[in-house]
Amino acid sequence: MKMYNPPHPGEVLKELCIEPLELTVTSAAKALGVSRKTLSSILNGRAGISPEMAIRLSKAFSTSAESWLNQQMQYDLFEAEQTLGNVKVKRLSAA
C-alpha cells in the first residue's frame, strides 16, 4: 500500500524510539554499534536505513527489520516518483 509523502524512517526513529527513551545521538549510536555520524545522518534524513542498520534497530528496539526496510522502500519510492513520475518510456511487449 503506497503512502502519500511518507516520512523518512530517520524521522520515525527519532520520534518513536530515540526521543521517548530520552537517548542522545551519542548514546544511541554506541548502543547500536555505529558511529555518531552514521546515526545522525539517518536521523536527519541524509542517509537511509540499510539492511544491516535495520537488523541493528530491530534488536535494539524490539521491532522487525522488515518494518524499517519497508519504511525506507516507501520513502524511496515516493521520492523517485516525484522525480521520475512523468518520464517518457516506450512500452515493450513480446510479439
Residue 74 has pLDDT above 80, yes or no: yes
Question: For residue 73, what pLDDT is reported?
Answer: 97
Residue 22 has pLDDT above 70, yes or no: yes
Question: 71 Cβ partners below 8 Å, 6+ apart?
Answer: 6, 7, 9, 12, 49
Q: What is the DSSP string of 3-15?
A: -SSPPPHHHHHII
Question: For residue 84, what pLDDT is reported?
Answer: 86
- Categorize the per-residue pLDDT at 37 as very low, low, confident or very high, splitting at 50, 70 and 90: very high
| CA distance to 25, 77, 79, 88, per residue, from 84 (Å) | 34, 10, 9, 9
Fold (topology level) of 9-81: 434 Repressor (Amino-terminal Domain) (1.10.260)
Residue given cell 528496539 in the structure block: 61
Q: Give the angle subtended at the CA of 27 by the CAs of 17 and 21, to the nearest 5°.
A: 30
- pTM given for the model: 0.88
Q: Express each pLDDT in 38-49 by its tens digit.
A: 999 999 999 999
